[in-house]
A and B are shown apart, each in its own frame.
Chain A
Amino acid sequence: MTTPLLEVRHLSKEFTVRSVGKKQGSTIRAVEDVSFDIAPGETLGLVGESGCGKSTLGRTVLRLLEPTSGEVVFDGAVVGADDTSLLRRRAQIVFQDPYSSLPPRMRVGRILAEPLLIHHVVPRSEIGERVGSLLSAVGLSVDLARSFPHQLSGGQRQRVSIARALAVEPSLIVADEAVSALDVSVQAQILNLLKDLQAERGLAYLFISHDLGVVRYMSHRVAVMYLGRIVEMGAAPELAIRPLHPYTVGLLSAVPKISAEGVTVRIDIESPNHSDIVGGCAFAPRCPMAQPVCATDRPDLAEWEPGRWAACHFASQVPERLGQPIATSGGPR
């Protein structure tokens, strides 16, 4: 097995929500005890619903937010609180909203020159040339360097965001809902561009999205988040076809499918709520398979089959569709 490019170890991020008149704010555990690896050139998809902590996780990994605990190891070196220079050169981010992720009063050429200037990537005389090659790498005309972001379409802006991320020649890009704001036809263009860039440059992606279809298309492996924790992780095709966690099953069944056959069978899952986190499994209050043990003991993320991890006491018994009879037992490896 190759050495991982990124190792995330027991990462947690808490927010204190202060409300008027309360001296002690309440704590929200947005990310709790999350661990995963990403190999060079690999895409790990991170999927979950709003409020599950996936965006916070992405930002904490890049130290745009300070983690409450845990560590991030990048290319074998632990990223310290004060020493982020390596991370800033080798890991970049692409955001969701193409309208707020580019500085509104900077021309595209300047936006792309900024990282080159900050990190002295190339001599000043070569900056113009490098900006041009970045634009063509993302399929944009070199003339656009003189444009302001508001003069571009959503798809073009997203390409500029990607070009900016590529400027420092990173080995990891965190794509935080990078295509969610785009129409499907443009979304497909950007997804294909990201795949092509990965093939050309050996980039690794942490690909964050709420859209299971997009995540499956982009990812080698997928991690499913629920209320701050990874509840399931495994190779994309297997996870999509035969999930091991009841939440994944519910999520998959709720995705509308294009079919000439009409509505598929699905189960109901109520939207998650942070007040559910008490002692046991956070999903237990909404889980159709919940047993008494689920309310008291929190299941750890365990490897049930080679490369297939799930945080469920009954992972081996999870049916493809909830509502089917529960299969006979097995245990984690």
Chain B
Amino acid sequence: MSDALGAVELSAPSARSAVGGAGRRILRSPLLLIGALGITLIGTAALFAPVIAPYDPSAQNLANILAPPIWAGGNTEHLLGTDVLGRDVASRLLFGARNSLFIAFSAMLLGSSLGLATGLLAGFFGGKVDSVLMRLGDVQLAFPFILLAIAILGVVANRGALLLVVVLGIPGWIIYARVVRSRVLAEKEKDYVAAATALGAGPWRRLFRYVFPSVWQVVPVIALLDVGFLIIMESTLSFLGLGLPPPAATWGGILADGRRNMVVSAWLPILPGLAIMITVLSINLLGDGLASVFDTRHVRGGFRRLRPTTPAPAVDSDGERLLAVRGLHVEFPLPGGTLKAVRGIDFDLAGGETLGVVGESGSGKSVTAAAVIQLLDPPGRVSAGSVVFDGDDLARIGDRRMAALRGRQVAMIFQNPAASLNPVLTIGFQLREAIRHVTDADRGTVADVARRALQMVGIADPERISRQYPFQLSGGMNQRVMIAMTLAARPRLLIADEPTTALDTTTQAQILSRLVELTERDDISLLLITHDIALVSEYADTMLVLYAGEVCEYGPVRRVIASPHHPYTRALLQSVPRVENAAERLEAIPGELPDPRQDRVGCPFAARCPEVMDVCRDVVPPRFDIGPGHLAACHLWAPQPVEAVTS
């Protein structure tokens, strides 16, 4: 998920709706409801089996054996027929449900409480207790305890429900313990637990008041799936004759009896199997449904790219220009409402020019970058506008043509360099793959190009680096590799999305100056996306200031920095603490971003603007011409000034 979208999603209004939606998501998930209904019905039937069952499950009637069920010519006296001893199958199935569910639930309760307790203690206190418990778990996982269980049940003289519960339940502890422990380990390292320590909260308070509330939710989901598994295990044991001893009715036992007579009456083994399947399916549907309700991540993926359905806006031809973005709108249709991340952005980029796109989180800068190279995270889509690159509207051309342009013509580097390289492939493999993709050169030439590409970005020993994996290199080194990889293909446009944000100041300085040097040398246009207005002031020719998905100001860097005309640009410049001359007091911008889901009237910055006028709240400001190539979307600069303002 892209940084920009992530940030927007986490912003206040959407987070609120995500949590409030849990109840609604339960109601909207039909499978979950079916599961819940199924398990409620079966559970009730099991609970009231003695009341509902038409016959005593053990009452034999040798005069009426193997009676067929009603749909196979049987009578209403025995709806599901009778077994080889003339016992009523329906009654036996009901009591089988009672036995099966009771044993499975009890075993689950035993295993889950053991596992929860050990997981919490082992994870939170660590040390010796932890290593002993986890070693024990390894031993158990390394060996099929079910075999031992079978052996015990097979030789023991009197099997009862209690023994079954113990034998089935105890081995389950490890599943809970492992999951709970890993959640506790992750949770206890979080800063809120350290903050509790700093406040003087003791270990038990930290465990139960802070860690426990964040980890317990995993238990019910595992427990449900565990019950399903245990029902199958219990029936398997009864089937093998190792469950509750006869004459107790068990699903597995009925099936085993039926199997012996299946040539005569095939439905006898089928019915108990169906009962098991429906029960377990209901439980699993409920468990999966609950798991997806708790998990609020959007399971969207795949490589699908949606093209806009609106007509492309007209773009005047201009030979100088490499990229022209016009009226760009990008939307993310999400369950809580459509997120309008970019709302009508225009800019141009000439060959060899560096355009700095600057804005805070939620400004739409990264989404704009992804829209240019047509790699929006699903379900994002360009809903209107065009991205004209060298005569082609990238938003509308076919997938094949777009793929052919990527790498060769339009390239991109990302914020997190280590994550942008495949962790299980070597640097050399990935670099050569990228080069082979854009040239038809033979092996030797590819290796040669790869080596020179690495040298070009200041890597002294390309052979050694080529043999390494991304995790063996520093962030700065990985970003150099990414730059080498993209520039080796000599693209005409490079998009750099926060390329140095994850790096240290000193590394950032080296990498950016090298990047700009190389793009200038090869006449590559650079779209530099960053939150740092200082970087733009140092490296870009032109700058575009975005706020909440809209353009505030656009123009040559030196002009904009020297005389910012939009109040947001001014505020941005004055809220950055500078090392070269410290301000007595920073100009903070009060308030927060507007909701990216809501439609707007007027200027997006109106609510936070120190110079707000009445017109700002009602009328979207057009972009006024301030000087050569310099635009500001602010009513202050309307040709008939409402009021003169000095900057």
CB distance from A205 to the nearest CB of B (A): 15
CB distance from B109 to the nearest CB of A (A): 24
The answer to whether A271 touches B506 (Cβ under 8 A) is: yes
Q: Other than A258-B534, A268-B506, give 15 A-B pairs with Cβ distance below 8 A.
A: A49-B504, A59-B194, A64-B197, A92-B199, A102-B195, A115-B199, A151-B16, A192-B588, A217-B583, A218-B577, A240-B582, A254-B506, A256-B509, A268-B510, A271-B474
16 A-B contact pairs sorted by A residue (CB < 8 Å): A50-B504, A85-B200, A92-B199, A96-B191, A114-B196, A114-B209, A115-B199, A185-B589, A189-B590, A192-B585, A210-B504, A212-B579, A213-B582, A259-B537, A260-B537, A270-B506
Q: How does the 8 Å CB contact mask read for B508-520 relative to A, with 1 for contact and 0 for none?
A: 1110010000000
Report if A122 contacts B (CB, 8 A).
Answer: no
- Pick the interface stretch among A9-17, A103-111, A309-317: A103-111
CB distance from A333 to the nearest CB of B (A): 27
Kindly list the 4 A-B residue pairs having the minimum CB-CB distance in the complex, ordered from nearest: A88-B200, A217-B577, A188-B588, A188-B575
Report if A81 contacts B (CB, 8 A).
Answer: no
The answer to whether A262 touches B538 (Cβ under 8 A) is: yes
Q: Give complex CA distance A22, B199 in Å.
A: 37
Q: Give complex CA distance A214, B571 in Å.
A: 16
Q: Give complex CA distance A321, B539 in Å.
A: 20
Count of chain A to chain B residue pairs whose CB atoms are closer than 8 Å in the complex: 205
The answer to whether B578 touches A258 (Cβ under 8 A) is: yes
| B10 interface neighbour in A99, A105, A186, A259, Cβ under 8 Å | A99
The answer to whether B534 touches A256 (Cβ under 8 A) is: yes
Q: Give complex CA distance A103, B187 in Å.
A: 10
Q: Give complex CA distance A154, B571 in Å.
A: 19
| A187 interface neighbour in B575, B585, B590, Cβ under 8 Å | B575
Q: How does the 8 Å CB contact mask read for A183-196 relative to B, with 1 for contact and 0 for none?
A: 11111110110010
Report if A150 contacts B (CB, 8 A).
Answer: yes
The answer to whether A62 touches B534 (Cβ under 8 A) is: no
The answer to whether B579 touches A252 (Cβ under 8 A) is: yes
Q: Give complex CA distance A102, B214 in Å.
A: 12
State whether A269 and B577 are in contact (beta carbons under 8 Å apart), knowing that A97-B191, A185-B572, A257-B534 are contacts in the complex: no
Q: A259 — which chain B residues lie within 8 A by C-beta?
A: 537-538, 561
Report if A161 contacts B (CB, 8 A).
Answer: yes
The answer to whether A185 touches B504 (Cβ under 8 A) is: no
CB distance from A81 to the nearest CB of B (A): 14
The answer to whether B504 touches A183 (Cβ under 8 A) is: no
Q: A270 — which chain B residues lie within 8 A by C-beta?
A: 506
Report if B586 contacts A (CB, 8 A).
Answer: yes
The answer to whether A212 touches B505 (Cβ under 8 A) is: yes
Q: Give complex CA distance A150, B360 in Å.
A: 20
The answer to whether A263 touches B538 (Cβ under 8 A) is: yes
A151, A155, A254: most-surrounded residue (chain B CB, <10 A)? A254
State whether A114 and B199 are in contact (beta carbons under 8 Å apart), knowing that A50-B504, A254-B506 are contacts in the complex: yes
Report if B476 contacts A (CB, 8 A).
Answer: yes
The B-contacting residues of A in range 213-230, CB under 8 angstroms, are: 213-214, 216-218
The answer to whether A217 touches B586 (Cβ under 8 A) is: yes
The answer to whether B506 touches A251 (Cβ under 8 A) is: yes
Nearest B residue to A157 via CB reads B12
The answer to whether A89 touches B200 (Cβ under 8 A) is: yes
Q: Give complex CA distance A191, B589 in Å.
A: 12
The answer to whether B577 touches A257 (Cβ under 8 A) is: no
Report if A275 contacts B (CB, 8 A).
Answer: no
CB distance from A314 to the nearest CB of B (A): 20
The answer to whether A118 touches B505 (Cβ under 8 A) is: no
Report if B155 contacts A (CB, 8 A).
Answer: no
Report if B190 contacts A (CB, 8 A).
Answer: yes
The answer to whether B579 touches A103 (Cβ under 8 A) is: no
Q: A167 — which chain B residues lie within 8 A by C-beta?
A: 199
Report if B139 contacts A (CB, 8 A).
Answer: no
Q: Give complex CA distance A214, B572 in Å.
A: 15
Report if B580 contacts A (CB, 8 A).
Answer: yes
Q: B213 — which chain A residues lie within 8 A by C-beta?
A: 103-106
Q: B505 — which chain A residues lie within 8 A by C-beta?
A: 49, 210, 212, 251, 254-255
CB distance from B5 to the nearest CB of A (A): 16
State whether A255 and B579 are in contact (beta carbons under 8 Å apart), knowing that A88-B198, A103-B196, A103-B213 are contacts in the complex: yes
The A-contacting residues of B in range 178-220, CB under 8 angstroms, are: 190-192, 194-201, 205, 209-210, 213-214
The B-contacting residues of A in range 77-122, CB under 8 angstroms, are: 84-85, 88-89, 91-93, 95-97, 99-106, 114-115, 118-119
Q: B200 — which chain A residues lie within 8 A by C-beta?
A: 84-85, 88-89, 115, 118-119, 168
